[in-house]
């Protein structure tokens, strides 16, 4: 503990923020990714950018106060945010789950408030970085992180470096078409991976089956209100043995595997890590998905890839934000 305090005095602590559509999570962590304190608040996205930024400030202040950390001990503040992020200019360009966020200079707002260097990146990209820096036991050069919840996002580590593309939007793997004649996606496109293999897709298919008269206990979990069916409910029903729920998740796994096979062929990575809410389904989702990858991916890249649940759980993004700060300081 003595060593830690000594380190802290040398600005070796980092504050990480994960801004999502429903919650703001913060941590104070060491350069080794050890979490010293945590903060949390609901995003209340409907209140708009100014109110959300206020909440971020308060959550940061509480997290810092909790562990009696002084701002002068912080090397920097890293922010992982959902949406299209312009990291170079520190702006949230657009975010489907944060209404009113258009070209919002979040990085500068945080930097000015706390007088500490701040850095901004896309949450799925940074989750990949977080897993790569603090999650994996054995370093690999090429890693794909996939988050599957209401949507599907991704982050790419290529040749030992976070790959973000020409303007920071790389990794939007959820919006690769896998069924050109498939359902309409939230992005407006047709047949995106996300439209077939996300939580939204699972809920939609469950409602469709129920409306067509399928026999299932899913409906009991929501007291007959189909509008309340989501991926969590279907997962719950499946765990209690509901046949339709299990079939729906297995079918979701099929589509999930089709997209994973694409990524194996395109990237030939050593590791694909699956995070996000649906990853909590475990083998119920991953087993059928991996079976499809075995059928569909080329043999050589298949033999060199491991596909498994993300290692940091819900902390991938916030620890990725920590890693982003370290990267900027060349650590």
Where along the sequence are the contacts to a second copy (CB under 8 A)?
84, 93-94, 140-142, 158-159, 161, 163-173, 175-182, 187, 189, 196, 255, 258, 261-262, 265-270, 296, 298, 300-301, 303-305
Q: Which is nearer to a second copy, 114 or 267 (CB)?
A: 267
User: Which residue has tokens 């050589």?
Assistant: 300
Q: Which is nearer to a second copy, 86 or 315 (CB)?
A: 86
Among candidate residues 266, 27, 43, the one with its CA nearest the CA of residue 134: 27
Report the distance separating Cα 37 and Cα 63, nearest Å: 6
Min separation Cβ 296 and a second copy, Å: 5
Instruction: Count CB atoms within 10 A of the CB of residue 50.
Output: 11
Q: Which is nearer to a second copy, 172 or 315 (CB)?
A: 172
Min separation Cβ 125 and a second copy, Å: 11
Q: Which is nearer to a second copy, 21 or 96 (CB)?
A: 96
Among candidate residues 123, 157, 127, the one with its CA nearest the CA of residue 140: 157
DSSP bridge pairs for 273: 145, 308
Tell me the HSE value of 68 on the side-chain side, using a 13 A CA sphere.
1
Report the distance separating Cα 259 and Cα 247, nearest Å: 19
* Whether the Cβ atoms of residue 205 and residue 195 lie closer than 8 Å to each other: no
Min separation Cβ 8 and a second copy, Å: 33
Among candidate residues 56, 51, 140, 41, the one with its CA nearest the CA of residue 100: 51
Instruction: Count CB atoms within 10 A of the CB of residue 283.
Output: 11
Min separation Cβ 129 and a second copy, Å: 14
Report the distance separating Cα 37 and Cα 81, nearest Å: 20
Min separation Cβ 117 and a second copy, Å: 23
The 3-state DSSP class for residue 168 equals coil
Min separation Cβ 94 and a second copy, Å: 8
Q: Which is nearer to a second copy, 1 or 180 (CB)?
A: 180
* Whether the Cβ atoms of residue 306 and residue 272 lie closer than 8 Å to each other: yes
Q: Which is nearer to a second copy, 34 or 103 (CB)?
A: 103
Q: Which is nearer to a second copy, 37 or 195 (CB)?
A: 195
Min separation Cβ 126 and a second copy, Å: 16
Q: Which is nearer to a second copy, 36 or 190 (CB)?
A: 190
Please give the backbone phi and psi of residue 179, each rounded to the nearest 5 degrees, phi first.
-140, 95
Min separation Cβ 116 and a second copy, Å: 28
């Amino acid at each position: 503990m003595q060593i830690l305090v000594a380190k802290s005095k040398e600005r070796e602590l980092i504050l990480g923020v994960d801004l999502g559509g429903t919650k703001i999570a913060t941590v104070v962590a060491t350069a080794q990714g050890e979490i010293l304190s945590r903060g949390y608040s609901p995003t209340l996205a409907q209140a708009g950018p100014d109110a959300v930024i206020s909440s971020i400030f308060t959550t940061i202040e509480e997290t810092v106060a909790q562990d009696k950390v002084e701002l002068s001990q912080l090397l920097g503040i890293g922010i992982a945010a959902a949406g299209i992020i312009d990291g170079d200019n520190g702006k949230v360009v657009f975010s489907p789950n944060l209404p009113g966020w258009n070209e919002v200079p979040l990085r500068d707002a945080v930097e000015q408030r706390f007088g500490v260097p701040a850095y901004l990146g896309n949450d799925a990209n940074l989750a990949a970085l977080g897993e790569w820096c603090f999650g994996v036991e054995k370093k690999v050069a090429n890693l794909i992180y996939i988050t599957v919840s209401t949507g599907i996002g991704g982050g790419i580590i290529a040749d030992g470096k976070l790959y973000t593309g020409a303007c920071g939007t790389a990794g939007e793997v959820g919006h690769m078409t896998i069924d050109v004649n498939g359902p309409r996606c939230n992005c407006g496109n047709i047949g995106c991976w996300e439209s077939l293999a996300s939580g939204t897709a699972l809920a939609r298919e469950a409602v469709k089956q129920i409306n067509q008269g399928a026999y299932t206990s899913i409906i009991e979990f929501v007291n007959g209100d189909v509008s309340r069916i989501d991926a969590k409910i279907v997962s719950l029903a499946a765990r209690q043995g509901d046949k339709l729920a299990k079939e729906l998740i297995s079918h979701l796994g099929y589509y999930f595997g089709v997209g994973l096979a694409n990524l194996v062929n395109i990237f030939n990575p050593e590791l694909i890590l699956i995070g996000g809410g649906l990853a909590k389904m475990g083998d119920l989702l991953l087993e059928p998905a991996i079976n499809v990858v075995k059928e569909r991916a080329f043999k050589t890249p298949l033999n060199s890839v491991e596909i498994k649940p993300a290692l940091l759980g819900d902390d991938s993004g916030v620890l990725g934000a920590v890693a982003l700060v370290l990267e900027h300081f060349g650590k």
